[in-house]
């Protein structure tokens, strides 16, 4: 996995009745394979918390069964510790390449609670684990000393997905744990995070622009960002002008890559205005043109 600085937090395509559309899922997974991107299934972009346990197990089994020539990471998130441990045990048998472990939701634990939570989960597997700091979704920031403490206890801590939205907080994580690999969890902040020692990106944009985002990540990591703006800023702004993954699913559908743009409540297609849809289509054309020049 050393050669995969870009992981795509893949959407979960759905039929109009809300069931999972595995034909579309296979199509977009193979596009990630063509681009050389690792895939994260069942992340927040994949509506992982909106799927039941049977569906989550089906997604993992299906993705593994495709035998793609790219690594698969599995998202593990929620607040029911025994249920998450059971899911990890199931995945251990499937043998994904990594897990993404999210800061516990809703309870807003302190540093000790976070450390013990991650310790309990990491003790259930020997598969590499990436931690995920996303306070806008969980309601609590990961304490900066938690990754460093965990790295002393567990050899299979592979890194941290940092999505605080703050360059200063990213720098504080790096200061407290300089030997841990940190990945940007925010497409728009990847240039700034790369300058501060980030090693890659876990991306939403790569769903709709897999090859272009691969090139974007390469340029960011090399510090060659002069020609990225304002094209990439405008494109990522459009993708997050409504709750993720609604814009990504709409654009994937308009591109013909997935059959439907269905999302599950509490997400709603009603949050996509005609104006935003036009912004997405315009961004798609601009990114395609940008890629042709690179």
Beta bridge partners, 202, equal: 7
Residue 54 CB neighbours (<10 A): 8
Identify the active-site residue in 132, 183, 216, 249. 132
Identify the active-site residue in 56, 108, 141, 161. 161
Chain CA centroid to CA 10, Å:
7
Catalytic annotation present for 161: yes
Closest to 75 measured CA to CA, from 88, 62, 66: 88
Closest to 246 measured CA to CA, from 260, 276, 267, 277: 267
Q: Please give the Cα distance from 262 to 280 (Å, whole number).
A: 17
Q: Please give the Cα distance from 16 to 158 (Å, whole number).
A: 37
- Non-local CB neighbours of 117 within 8 Å, separated by 6+ positions: 81, 104, 109
Q: Please give the Cα distance from 84 to 82 (Å, whole number).
A: 5
- Determine what percent of the chain falls in helix, strand and coil, rounding each to the nearest 5: 50, 15, 40
Catalytic annotation present for 211: no
- Non-local CB neighbours of 254 within 8 Å, separated by 6+ positions: 277, 280, 281, 284
- Tell me the C-alpha to C-alpha distance, in Å, between residue 92 and each of 64, 95, 117, 127, 265: 12, 5, 19, 8, 30
Give catalytic residue positions. 132, 161
């Amino acid at each position: 996995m050393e050669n995969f600085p870009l992981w795509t937090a893949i959407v979960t395509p759905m039929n109009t009745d809300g069931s999972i559309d595995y034909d579309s899922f296979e199509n977009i997974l193979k596009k990630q394979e063509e681009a050389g991107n690792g895939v994260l299934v069942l992340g927040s972009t994949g509506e992982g918390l909106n799927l039941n346990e049977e569906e989550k197990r089906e997604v993992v089994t299906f993705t593994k069964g495709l035998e793609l020539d790219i690594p698969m990471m599995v998202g593990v998130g929620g607040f029911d510790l025994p249920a998450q441990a059971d899911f990890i045990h199931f995945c251990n048998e499937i043998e994904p390449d990594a897990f993404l472990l999210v800061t516990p939701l809703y309870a807003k634990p302190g540093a000790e609670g976070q450390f013990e939570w991650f310790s309990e989960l990491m003790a259930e597997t020997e598969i590499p684990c990436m931690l995920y700091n996303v306070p806008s979704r969980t309601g609590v920031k990961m304490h900066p000393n938690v990754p460093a403490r965990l790295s002393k206890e567990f050899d299979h801590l592979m890194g941290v997905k940092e999505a605080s939205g703050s360059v200063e907080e990213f720098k504080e994580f790096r200061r407290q744990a300089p030997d841990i690999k940190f990945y940007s969890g925010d497409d728009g902040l990847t240039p700034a995070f790369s300058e501060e020692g980030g090693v890659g990106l876990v991306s939403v944009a790569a769903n709709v622009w897999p090859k272009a985002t691969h090139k974007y990540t390469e340029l960011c990591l090399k510090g060659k960002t002069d020609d990225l703006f304002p094209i990439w800023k405008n494109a990522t702004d459009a993708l997050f002008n409504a709750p993720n993954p609604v814009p990504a699913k709409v654009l994937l559908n308009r591109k013909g890559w997935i059959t439907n743009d269905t999302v599950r409540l509490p997400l709603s297609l009603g949050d996509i205005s005609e104006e935003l849809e036009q912004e997405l289509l315009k961004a798609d054309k601009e990114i395609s043109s940008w890629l042709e020049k690179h």
